[in-house]
């Protein structure tokens, strides 16, 4: 069953969402950007950043092959592949520098964990030929999803290899995307009524949430230490909004003024959210404070700035596109 949602009207003839208040500020001069590419890459995307400022993500080479990298805060980049893989896609890095993600080879798609010193181990859930890991917490517990003959299911796997699999209620398609240090997980699932976000507690209880206005498309993307989730939903008119779901309080929706889509991607321990929105032919990054203030930003010279991750001090990692190409970036507060 869905938890309660809340909204406040802020204009006639439009779904208006509780935002606190809107304040868009120009980027302060004290903020710094590191825009980078892995050597030899034609595109670079930084998907995750930990509290030490180390980022992980993927890059594509001139042949179109996908590889992974780790970049420390000082700028040194280490590229890596799972041995024998045709594609290696790092998705998340934890506080200790462990990276998780997935790779493909001749036998299918598999999950991997790379230690801070570069040792790579791979795993599959059961006999599945398709296992994807998306999140890792400080204890090395990973979450993701796998597919078999009965559908697609979520999993939580401890660092020692103990696996718990799960499905959201009445669903044969459950994707887990993020895990916090308490082993709570968020993601989304499909059923006969649509797509819904969920939070799964460490003990296995699942709480379902939905966006506002009768939304039938809702997603949980990131969960912080307090169990607060950032994600997105689409309303019945086709507009996309960011959301913050707080267990016990419900869903708050927000949007960039004038934007037809606003995607929230990550939330940190202070409940600051990052993501991106479209406006006047550009894609801008944003930070949403815990009180609801939205501040937009763009990497220098970029027409598209897409943040994917935020750490405890507010450093953001993502990708940007400018006339010179498609790059990774780290934005420091």
pLDDT at 206: 98
- Neighbouring C-beta atoms of residue 69, cutoff 10 Å: 25
Determine the Cα–Cα distance for residues 50 and 73; give it in Å rounded to an integer.
10
pTM of the model: 0.91
pLDDT at 15: 29
pLDDT at 13: 26
CB 196 within 8 Å of CB 245: no
Give the E-state strand segments of 125-261 in sequence order: 130-136, 142-148, 151-157, 163-166, 173-179, 185-191, 194-200, 206-209, 217-223, 229-234, 240-246, 250-254
CB contact burial 213-243 (16+ within 10 A = b; e otherwise): bebebbbbbbbbbebbbbbbbbbeeebbbbb
Give the tens place of pLDDT for each residue, 72-123. Answer: 999 999 999 999 999 999 999 999 999 999 999 999 999 999 999 999 999 9
Decide the pairing of beta strands 173-179 and 120-123. Answer: unpaired
pLDDT at 327: 98
Q: How far is CA 219 from the centre of its chain?
A: 11
CB 73 within 8 Å of CB 54: yes
CA distance readout (Å), 325 to 23, 41, 294, 304, 320: 31, 10, 27, 11, 8
| Structural domains of the chain sorted by starting position, each given as residue range(s) with its CATH number in brackets | 32-332 (2.130.10.10)
Q: What is the greatest pairwise CA distance in the chain?
A: 58
Determine the Cα–Cα distance for residues 246 and 254; give it in Å rounded to an integer.
14
For residue 230 the two structure tokens come to 């950032």
Residues of the chain with confidence (pLDDT) below 50: 1-29
Determine the Cα–Cα distance for residues 214 and 150; give it in Å rounded to an integer.
29
């Amino acid at each position: 069953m869905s938890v309660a949602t809340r909204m406040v009207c802020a204009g006639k003839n439009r779904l208006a969402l509780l935002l606190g208040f809107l304040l868009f500020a120009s980027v302060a001069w004290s903020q710094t950007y590191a825009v980078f590419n892995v050597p030899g890459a034609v595109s670079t995307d930084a998907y995750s950043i930990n509290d030490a400022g180390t980022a992980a993500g993927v890059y594509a080479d001139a042949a179109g092959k996908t590889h992974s990298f780790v970049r420390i805060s000082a700028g040194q980049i280490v590229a890596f592949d799972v041995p024998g893989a045709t594609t290696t896609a790092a998705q998340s890095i934890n506080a200790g520098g462990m990276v998780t993600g997935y790779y493909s080879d001749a036998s299918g798609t598999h999950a991997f964990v790379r230690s801070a010193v570069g040792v790579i181990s791979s795993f599959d859930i059961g006999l599945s030929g398709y296992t994807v890991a998306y999140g890792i917490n400080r204890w090395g517990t990973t979450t993701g999803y796998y597919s078999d003959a009965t559908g697609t299911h979520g999993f939580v796997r401890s660092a020692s290899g103990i696996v718990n699999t799960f499905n959201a209620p009445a669903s044969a398609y459950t994707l887990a995307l993020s895990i916090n240090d308490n082993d709570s997980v968020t993601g989304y699932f499909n059923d006969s009524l649509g797509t819904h976000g969920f939070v799964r507690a460490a003990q296995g209880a699942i709480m379902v949430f939905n966006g506002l206005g009768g939304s039938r498309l809702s997603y949980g993307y990131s969960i912080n230490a307090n169990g607060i989730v950032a994600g997105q939903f689409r309303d019945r008119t086709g507009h996309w909004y960011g959301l913050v779901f707080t267990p016990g309080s419900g869903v708050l929706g927000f949007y960039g003024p004038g934007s037809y889509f606003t995607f929230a991607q990550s939330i940190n321990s202070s409940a600051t959210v990052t993501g991106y929105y479209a406006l006047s032919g550009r894609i801008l990054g944003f930070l949403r404070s815990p009180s609801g203030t939205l501040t937009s930003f763009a990497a220098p010279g970029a027409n598209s700035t897409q943040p994917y991750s935020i750490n405890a001090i507010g450093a953001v990692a993502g990708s940007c596109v400018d006339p010179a190409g498609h790059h990774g970036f780290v934005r420091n507060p």
